[in-house]
Homo-oligomer: A and B are copies of this chain.
Amino acid sequence: MHILLIYDISEDKIRNKVAEACKDFGLKRIQWSAFLGQLNHNRREELMMRISKLLGDNEGNIRLYPICSKDIKLVHEINRV
């Protein structure tokens, strides 16, 4: 299943570690604090447990949205570089 993972993490070091964890799980960075990829249920749980440990007691909000293949095709993007 597709997943979209977004985060607000104030501590730079932790934010970088969370980004590395997302890459380790094969996710692709689509925005500064957003990763997209495909993970099954177990791998989603595993990733969130790893992120939870990385965050510890520090401030942060992390959200992982599973998105089905029908909905992922409806994404609307504006991209100007």
The residue of chain B having its C-beta at the shortest distance from the C-beta of A54 within the complex is: B78
Contacts of A74 in B (CB 8 A): 65-66
Interface positions of A (Cβ within 8 A of B): 4, 6-8, 30-34, 44-45, 48, 51-52, 55, 57-68, 70-72, 74-81
The residue of chain B having its C-beta at the shortest distance from the C-beta of A5 within the complex is: B76
A48:B65 contact, CB within 8 angstroms: no
* Nearest 9 A/B pairs, CB to CB: A8-B31, A64-B76, A62-B78, A66-B74, A63-B77, A61-B79, A8-B32, A6-B34, A65-B75
A51:B71 contact, CB within 8 angstroms: no
The residue of chain B having its C-beta at the shortest distance from the C-beta of A68 within the complex is: B71
